[in-house]
Amino acid sequence: MINTPPACAGQARFVAPLAPPTQAPVPTHQGPALQPAQAANAPFTGRLAVGLCGVLLAVLLAGFNEHVTEGGLADLSGALSLGHDDATWLTALFEAFNIAAMAFAPWFAVTFSIRWLALAMLALAAASALWLPFCPNLPTLWLTRCIQGLACGSLPPLLMTVALRYLPPNIKIYGLGAYALTSTFGPNLGLPLVGYLFEGAGWHWLSWDIVPLCAAAMGAIAWGLPQDPLKLERFRQFDWLGLITGLPAICFLVIGLFEGDRLDWFRNPAITHLILAGLVLFAAFLINEWHHPVPFFRIQLLKSRNVSDALLTLTGVLVLDVATLQVPETFLEAVHHLRPIQIAPLALGLALPQLGTLVLVAAFCNLRWVDCRHVLLAGLGLQGLSYFLASWIDFDWMGGDFGPMMALQALSQPMIVIPILMLATLSLQPTDGPFISGMFNMTKGFAAAVATALLGALLRRREQYHSTMLLDHHGAVRFQLNGLADGAPGLILSRQLQPHLQARQATALFHGTVHTQATILACADILTIMVGLCGALFALNLILPQRVYPPGSAQPKPPPAQSFPAQPLPAQRRGT
């Protein structure tokens, strides 16, 4: 006979949850770092905030190293006596290892701890930056850039991981806004830094600019970030096949994208082999990640509509963001022959206002009644409007004429990036943080490489098209222009000591004018294409994503479950 407590009579049987074991309160920060037992449940204190700021600074300086070297490549290659072809490999090799490191860094962050990985990569980045101006030959310079890419690419995934892990729910959106700085604010500061560093401090500082920032970030991380225990046992299930296939696949594809336009794409056997081998290896990498027990990527996350939408939208948005500054920069350099320091106010007008708009957008999206999907759609609409206004570009435009475009961009970019981050992260479990961090950052890196290759190819091909059309039109109507006064020959003749060179100089002046007009028309075409891309992303986000709510807000209550009458226990049926 089974005895049943009287209170249970006539009630459904249930099992009460066990009370959690009593834990001692987590002590405050003592010593150089938190102990392993404290790291998992570290309270959000001022010291932890300093550590998170150190990670943010580390990610920003990684972006500075990328964009400053890329923007000052002409000056840097001149100082190092490099030809154009050799200098382009400095960017291609850096980007290849930079993007590859983004894919694998989260796994090593879990294994060696975020704190130790960040400190090691910062030290490596600072040492390679100090050494770069003293490289004795070209292979050493290329190797140094590979090491810099590996170090700088390991840092961005750490910021998303620590933001999702350590920030309290009520301010987690602001952490995502801080991560958005690395996509909006940081890249737009590259061009001003190129101008001010090269003109004011010398070409060495195009490489040394990150050294003091590395020291500051290392101090903040070492003092403020909790120390997780090492998990070296994870190497027993290390994904060697994923590393062997994924690392060369990413490097091959990125190098092919960056060098493709210069080498005429698939007409060059090297580009053909790089991209073909990269695609095959990357397919093998994805298949392996699907089945591996401890993968670098959890491909199953793509089953989530929000994750798929976030990655697709991120790819398109990175193309838009690269075009936002690259098209005006190309126009001002090619048409008006401006130096980076003269274009710096335009870039600052885009970057600095985002320090305020990011906070405002994050605060707005942190309200429960605000649907981040609507904010994303509004941001895409504003971006499309900005490109439409800029598509009326002509020869008379200077930096100030791009002001309305930059104002709309400074508002719309945070309105797009923060909702994308919310869609990518808030629908997942906390344990998925390292996986989505790696996938998100590698997608961001790949999208930037695709954007650079796409815009380069578009600019070259549209410029060639318009040059052909202008020359063809001139050939068709050249006899109708004979009666018009042309001041070019007289201007050349007045400055030319040898009159027999007049025709040659006039022809050179004419072709220079055609090239200028073709470049303007090509820039207008690219901006028009960006309007169409905004429309495509707008349509995608009308149908694919599902609503997410900011963390810490009250979630909508699920419909009440259907209740059934309680059944007596078997012992009660026997009358006990």
Q: Are residues 194 and 340 in the same domain?
A: no
Q: Are residues 289 and 327 in the same domain?
A: no
Q: Residue by residue, what is the 3-state secondary structure of 160-182?
A: HHHHHHHCCHHHHHHHHHHHHHH
Contacts of 565 (CB under 8 A, 6+ apart): none
Q: Are residues 408 and 538 in the same domain?
A: yes
- The pLDDT value recorded for residue 574 is 41
Contacts of 252 (CB under 8 A, 6+ apart): 274, 275, 277, 278, 281
Contacts of 435 (CB under 8 A, 6+ apart): 106, 295, 297, 298, 301
User: Per-residue pLDDT tens for 309-329?
Assistant: 989 999 999 899 889 988 998
Confidence of residue 432 (pLDDT cuts 50, 70, 90): confident
Amino acid at 506: A
Cβ contact 414:185 at 8 Å: no
The answer as to whether 490 is a domain residue is no
Final residue belonging to a domain, choices 293, 319, 334: 293
What percentage of the chain reaches a pLDDT higher than 90? 26
Of residues 435 and 388, the one with the higher pLDDT is: 388
Cβ contact 62:152 at 8 Å: yes
Confidence of residue 171 (pLDDT cuts 50, 70, 90): confident
The answer as to whether 464 is a domain residue is yes
Q: How far apart are CA 298 and CA 188, in angstroms?
A: 32
Cβ contact 436:424 at 8 Å: yes
Q: How far apart are CA 278 and CA 370, in angstroms?
A: 42
Q: Are residues 338 and 474 in the same domain?
A: yes
Final residue belonging to a domain, choices 293, 320, 335: 293
pLDDT above 90 (res 536):
yes
Lowest mean pLDDT among 169-183, 245-259, 392-406, 413-427: 169-183
Q: Are residues 448 and 302 in the same domain?
A: yes
The answer as to whether 8 is a domain residue is no
Confidence of residue 341 (pLDDT cuts 50, 70, 90): confident
The total number of structural domains that make up the chain: 3
Q: Are residues 222 and 245 in the same domain?
A: no
Q: How far apart are CA 238 and CA 139, in angstroms?
A: 32
- The pLDDT value recorded for residue 501 is 64
Final residue belonging to a domain, choices 260, 293, 326: 293
The answer as to whether 5 is a domain residue is no
Cβ contact 329:343 at 8 Å: yes
Q: Are residues 287 and 307 in the same domain?
A: no
Q: Are residues 137 and 246 in the same domain?
A: no
- The pLDDT value recorded for residue 344 is 83
Contacts of 272 (CB under 8 A, 6+ apart): 266
The boundaries of the domain holding residue 253 are 239-293
The answer as to whether 500 is a domain residue is no
Q: Are residues 249 and 330 in the same domain?
A: no
CATH of the domain at 68: 1.20.1250.20
The answer as to whether 572 is a domain residue is no
Mean pLDDT of 208-213: 88
Q: Are residues 349 and 473 in the same domain?
A: yes
Q: Are residues 261 and 401 in the same domain?
A: no
pLDDT above 70 (res 371):
yes
- The pLDDT value recorded for residue 227 is 84
Mean pLDDT of 2-22: 40
- The pLDDT value recorded for residue 534 is 94
User: Per-residue pLDDT tens for 262-293?
Assistant: 888 888 899 999 999 999 999 999 998 888 88
The answer as to whether 26 is a domain residue is no
DSSP string covering 240-299:
HHHHHHHHHHHHHHHHHHHHHTTTTGGGSHHHHHHHHHHHHHHHHHHHHHHH-SS-SS-G
Q: Are residues 223 and 308 in the same domain?
A: no
Confidence of residue 480 (pLDDT cuts 50, 70, 90): low
The answer as to whether 13 is a domain residue is no
Q: How far apart are CA 222 and CA 212, in angstroms?
A: 15
Cβ contact 400:565 at 8 Å: no
